[in-house]
């Protein structure tokens, strides 16, 4: 990674940290942020499960076990964010139940500017779990998991301790951050098992550069829509009990 990319990484990480902290701290934007996290965490489970099955078929039982645990962690993360939404009397919109022609449904189906830039040059077909190159999966996911662990920890720190719901969410996010650190760890080990140290560093540098470009695309999109994002939540049933969330 060259010096300019490194500087852009630092600047981009700082900007994301500020933006994310502001969004999670604001009671008006928090539900949408939580919904996005729930969709992302839960949505990755089928992909990871299929990858685990593929690794097992290919004879890599170590990787298969790691991917199975990864999928289980993401399932729990989705539950953490779903619970936090329930505490706010909100829930994720069921986009599948919306008519196919609605703007909400069309918007949900579009590829995000971030991931379009991150995976530039790769087709949707090439990124499916049964055919994705292991190096592409490991390198790209390692960067995302490593950065997510830091982002979740930063966001947790801005949540107040004097409000039970916020404190509960803080504990949940810190638990998620710890898991993401573990995911990054096994992915790095997985790369080292298959490649030389030089090859791993080259792969990490490539996906770090892609992440910087993706953040620029994300920022440009935010400016274009003037900070307005589509709603991912709807009102849910009021929650009077179940205020504590088990995160371990």
The stretch 71-79 carries a mean pLDDT of 97
- The CATH number for 9's domain is 1.20.1260.10
Residue 241 lies in a domain: no
What is the number of structural domains in the chain? 1
Residue range(s) defining the domain that contains residue 48: 3-235
Please give the backbone phi and psi of residue 204, each rounded to the nearest 5 degrees, phi first.
-65, -45
Taking only the tens place, the pLDDT of each residue in 110-168 is 568 999 999 999 999 999 999 999 999 999 999 999 999 999 999 999 999 999 999 99
Residue 66 CB-density burial (10 A; 0-12 exposed, 13-18 middle, 19+ buried): buried
Quick check: pTM over 0.75? yes
Residue 144 lies in a domain: yes
Residue 46 lies in a domain: yes
Residue 141 lies in a domain: yes
The secondary structure of residue 159, as a DSSP letter, is S
């Amino acid at each position: 990674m060259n010096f300019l990319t490194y500087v852009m990484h630092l600047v981009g990480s700082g900007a994301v940290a500020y933006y994310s902290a502001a969004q999670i701290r604001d009671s008006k934007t928090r539900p949408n942020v939580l919904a996005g996290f729930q969709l992302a965490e839960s949505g990755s489970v089928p992909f990871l499960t299929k990858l685990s099955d593929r690794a097992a078929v290919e004879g890599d039982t170590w990787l298969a076990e790691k991917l199975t645990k990864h999928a289980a962690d993401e399932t729990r993360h989705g539950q953490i964010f779903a619970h936090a939404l329930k505490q706010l009397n909100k829930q994720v919109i069921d986009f599948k139940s919306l008519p196919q022609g609605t703007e909400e449904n069309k918007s949900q189906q579009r590829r995000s500017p971030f991931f379009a830039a991150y995976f530039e040059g790769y087709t949707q077909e090439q990124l499916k779990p049964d055919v994705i190159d292991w190096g592409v999966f490991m390198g790209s996911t390692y960067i995302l998991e490593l950065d997510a662990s830091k982002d979740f920890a930063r966001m947790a720190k801005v949540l107040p301790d004097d409000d039970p719901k916020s404190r509960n969410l803080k504990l949940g996010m810190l638990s998620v951050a710890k898991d993401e650190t573990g995911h990054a760890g096994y992915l790095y080990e997985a790369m080292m098992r298959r490649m030389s140290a030089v090859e791993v560093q080259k792969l990490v540098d490539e996906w770090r550069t892609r992440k910087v470009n993706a953040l620029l695309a994300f920022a440009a999109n935010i400016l274009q829509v003037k900070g307005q994002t589509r709603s991912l939540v709807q009102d849910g049933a009021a929650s009077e009990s179940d205020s504590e969330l088990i995160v371990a």
